[in-house]
Structure 1
Amino acid sequence: MGARGTAVLSPRALGRALLGRQLLLDRADLGVAAATEHLFGLNAQDPELPYLALWNRLERFAIEDLTVAIENGVLVRSTMMRATQHLMSAADFRLIRPVLAPLLRRVQRNAFGGRTAGVDLDALVTDAAGLLTDGAALTRPELGRALASTRPDTDPNALGWTVQYLLPVVHPAPSGTWGNRGATPFAAFPGVPESATAEDVGEMVRRYLAAFGPATVADARSWSGVGGLREVFERLRPELRTYTDESGRELFDLPDRELPPAELPVPVRLLPEFDATLLAHADRTRVMTEEIRRQVCQGAAVAATVLVDGTVAATWTKDRTGALTVVPLRPIATADRAAIEAEALRLLAFAAPGVDHTVHFHW
């Protein structure tokens, strides 16, 4: 049973805990499906991102491992946390999509409510589901045009986007696989409940803490985009362990999770854009200072980052010629620079084989 904790956790201690939960202290011997469930989803706003995320975290990982899991439907890509594209296991999608439904309805209303005024949204969803039966897949423009054909004077683009938010759809392969960009198809995903139970929301919180804890209520809300979580945490309080951060905020965690030592040495990591490690908390000081956060997170963009001693030290980009450029955001010691270069060359060997690789530091 949980009890109110007295231990105060520093940002460094919280950072080590996060790296451990996110498989960034040591690469794990897991398959892609088990790893994705352990991490509770991977950002997939670009096809390469889940591949690079898993490369950072798994001992043995090849591009075809993830591609096959997506092709087989073991992992599915859809609009999920924070109304952004993520890759999750099929089982986790069935769990979390109903929990996210109120958020996604709100996003639809805010973004497209005016352009769908007068449209019967329930009938729209029913018609869209009918168009996507028997394994049919349509791109958003195709689906929007088909729905607009029986709804004169409506905006096909708004109709397609509305379906994306209101109907549980996934984007089947080859969409979302390595190197495949372009039009995104929609396909129906059966077996998703229309609404979440209280136990579903509680299970989401437990899974979030397993992947990102210890964390505050605000952290869980920031990661998911779901409101009303304070009541959920209060209901779960008897089964959770609690701590306090240096600002006096209450942190929750699963009772059986041990925290790694705050001074534990950690390896250099080159995280892809939008990596959940940087986005899973309202307070991100466990992984970067506020000054660095402003340089990494600009508008809707979140840069690819280099972790040195567990916190963001630089951003990185790669081009198609096999060159990777590191832009330091704080002083980097000579030994750390060598470790960054070695890790960058390993990443390039994975992502761009068959070409000469170079690593540049842009000071």
Structure 2
Amino acid sequence: MTETLTLRALNRATLARQLLLERADVPVPEAVERLCGLQAQEPKPPFLGLWTRLEGFEVADLLGAVRDRALVRATMMRGTLHLMSAPDYLALRAPLQPILNGGLRVLGNRAEGLDLDKVLPAARALLNEKPRTFNEIRALLQEEFPEVNDRALGFAVRMCLPLVMVPTEDRWGFPRTSEFTLAESWLGDAPAPAPADSPDALVLRYLAAFGPASAADAQEWSGFAKLGEVLERLRPQLRVFSDEKGRELFDLPDAPQPDEDTPAPARFLPEFDNLVLAHADRTRIIAAEHRPSLTTKNLRVRSTFLWDGFAAGLWEMERKRKVATLRLLPFGKLTKRALNELTAEGERLLRFAEPDAAEHVVTTAEA
């Protein structure tokens, strides 16, 4: 008989994989591998995401790993920028290529005249000369292909070539003017991502970081359709559960399954955190009635805070002169204990994110 996992059991299992039941004392590259990457549309959120997961994390720990090329920032799942370990990037980038190719459909009429067989070799030649910003890449390609939309040229290169961003001396490592280079150039002797026919490795890495999960969950995270066929093929090497809704869930046989009563401390998740994006059914982290508030009209994924393992509200941070403020926006009334622990954790986060502020203040909006 298939074991049924309660909502709290799913919550605690996912938090354990995501290093959110207790801070881990592991090197940054290992942590990023265990998380199967950190979404990184903007430079700062991965630093905050690692701070909330790792014991004694410092900004320099992540910057050092990126500059040592143990980590890369590159286009990955769902066509978005992720911070990945170099081995994961090399192993998982190729299985994603069909999804990235499919992303070109959003160009619509702007893709008129776009010939990838000509554009991509031209872009590769430009990047073999030296790293370049996307403004440079678009301008140079437009000179060679004047009849093609410049944004279409740039988007095709971003999605169809294995590129990584070159870190700078900026505080968060990647300013808006960051340059890109070919992965094989940046990673030296490491092989370039090679063509791969199967997403099996990608699915197994997903389950390690976010399981137990359904086929629909894995599809939501990866962008792949028909992952049920992959999971069916992998079934003999997986554990199978069901949730309280009767959905079939898959997991690795040796993955952690904490007791559902395991304490879950107050935690702050940054914008775009994968924890709130990695499942089709996200009730293991956030109640369905609160899910719409996660995303703004311009598709920004807002910062959330966890209490007892579940998203209990949103948070915002601002800096005015020498005062750094973190504002809690709870979904409902917080208990005194929750408010005290969230305030203490919020003050620690402010001291990390704004170390030179003279004052660090946590405030709470009315629920």
Give the secondary-structure state (helix, strand or coil) at the position aligned to 2:63: helix
Give the secondary-structure state (helix, strand or coil) at the position aligned to 1:318: strand
Give the secondary-structure state (helix, strand or coil) at the position aligned to 2:103: helix
* Residue 153 of structure 2 corresponds to residue 159 of structure 1: yes
* Residue 135 of structure 2 corresponds to residue 132 of structure 1: no
Give the secondary-structure state (helix, strand or coil) at the position aligned to 1:316: strand
Q: Is the 8 A contact 1:10 1:245 kept in 2?
A: yes
Query: What amino acid is aligned across from residue 161 of structure 1 in structure 2?
Result: F
What is the distance in 2 between the residues matched to 1:116 and 1:184?
Answer: 25
* Residue 340 of structure 2 corresponds to residue 338 of structure 1: yes
Partner of 2:115: 120
What is the distance in 2 between the residues matched to 1:175 and 1:255?
Answer: 43
Partner of 1:240: 238
Deviation (angstroms), 1:147: 1.0
Partner of 2:309: 310
Deviation (angstroms), 1:245: 0.6
Deviation (angstroms), 1:267: 0.2
Q: Is the 8 A contact 1:98 1:192 kept in 2?
A: no
Deviation (angstroms), 1:325: 0.6
Partner of 1:80: 76
2:208 aligned residue (194, 210, 221) = 210
Query: Which structure 2 residues correspond to residues 187-336 of structure 1 after superposition, within 5 A?
Result: 187-190=181-184, 191-198=191-198, 201-299=199-297, 300-321=299-320, 322-336=324-338
Unaligned runs of 5+ in 2: 185-190
Q: Once the two structures are superposed, what CA deviation does each residue of 1:272-297 show, in whole Å capped at 9, x if it has no partner?
A: 01111111100000011111111123
Query: What amino acid is aligned across from residue 15 of structure 2 in structure 1?
Result: L
Q: Name the CA shift for 1:169/1:141 in 2 (closer, same or farther; >3 Å).
A: same
Q: Is the 8 A contact 1:76 1:170 kept in 2?
A: yes
Q: Is the 8 A contact 2:113 2:148 kept in 1?
A: no
What is the distance in 2 between the residues matched to 1:141 and 1:112?
Answer: 18
Give the secondary-structure state (helix, strand or coil) at the position aligned to 1:244: strand
What is the distance in 2 between the residues matched to 1:286 and 1:74?
Answer: 32
Q: Once the two structures are superposed, what CA deviation does each residue of 1:212-261 show, in whole Å capped at 9, x if it has no partner?
A: 10000000110111223111101100000000011111000001124111
Moved more, 136-145 or 303-312: 136-145
Structure 1 residue runs of 4 or more that deviate by more than 6 Å after TM superposition = none
Give the secondary-structure state (helix, strand or coil) at the position aligned to 1:26: coil
Partner of 1:142: 136
Deviation (angstroms), 1:306: 0.8
* Residue 93 of structure 2 corresponds to residue 97 of structure 1: yes
* Aligned CA-pair RMSD: 1.5
Q: Is the 8 A contact 2:168 2:178 kept in 1?
A: no
Identity of aligned residues (%): 44
Q: Name the CA shift for 1:176/1:225 in 2 (closer, same or farther; >3 Å).
A: farther
What is the distance in 1 between the residues matched to 2:243 and 2:152?
Answer: 44
Deviation (angstroms), 1:9: 1.0
What is the distance in 1 between the residues matched to 2:10 and 2:49?
Answer: 20
Unaligned runs of 5+ in 1: none
Q: TM-score, normalised by structure 1?
A: 0.94
What is the distance in 2 between the residues matched to 1:141 and 1:210?
Answer: 37
Give the secondary-structure state (helix, strand or coil) at the position aligned to 1:193: coil
Q: Is the 8 A contact 2:218 2:279 kept in 1?
A: yes
What is the distance in 2 between the residues matched to 1:319 and 1:255?
Answer: 44
Q: Once the two structures are superposed, what CA deviation does each residue of 1:129-174 show, in whole Å capped at 9, x if it has no partner?
A: 111115x111112101111112122222221111001111111102
What is the distance in 2 between the residues matched to 1:80 and 1:320?
Answer: 32
Q: Is the 8 A contact 1:77 1:176 kept in 2?
A: no
Q: Is the 8 A contact 2:77 2:221 kept in 1?
A: yes
What is the distance in 1 between the residues matched to 2:347 and 2:107?
Answer: 44
Partner of 1:174: 168
2:360 aligned residue (351, 357, 361) = 357
What number of residue pairs does the alignment pair up? 355
Partner of 2:39: 43
What is the distance in 2 between the residues matched to 1:167 and 1:175?
Answer: 25
What is the distance in 1 between the residues matched to 2:281 and 2:102?
Answer: 24
Higher relative contact order (CA 8 A, sep 6+): 1
Partner of 2:188: none
Deviation (angstroms), 1:298: 3.5
Deviation (angstroms), 1:41: 0.1
Give the secondary-structure state (helix, strand or coil) at the position aligned to 1:314: strand
Query: What amino acid is aligned across from residue 336 of structure 2 in structure 1?
Result: T
What is the distance in 2 between the residues matched to 1:339 and 1:179?
Answer: 31
Q: TM-score, normalised by structure 2?
A: 0.93
Deviation (angstroms), 1:194: 4.3
Q: Is the 8 A contact 1:15 1:286 kept in 2?
A: yes
Q: Name the CA shift for 1:253/1:176 in 2 (closer, same or farther; >3 Å).
A: farther
1:9 aligned residue (5, 8, 11) = 5
Q: Name the CA shift for 1:244/1:349 in 2 (closer, same or farther; >3 Å).
A: same
Partner of 1:67: 63
What is the distance in 1 between the residues matched to 2:160 and 2:21?
Answer: 38
Query: What amino acid is aligned across from residue 42 of structure 1 in structure 2?
Result: L
Q: Is the 8 A contact 2:63 2:173 kept in 1?
A: no
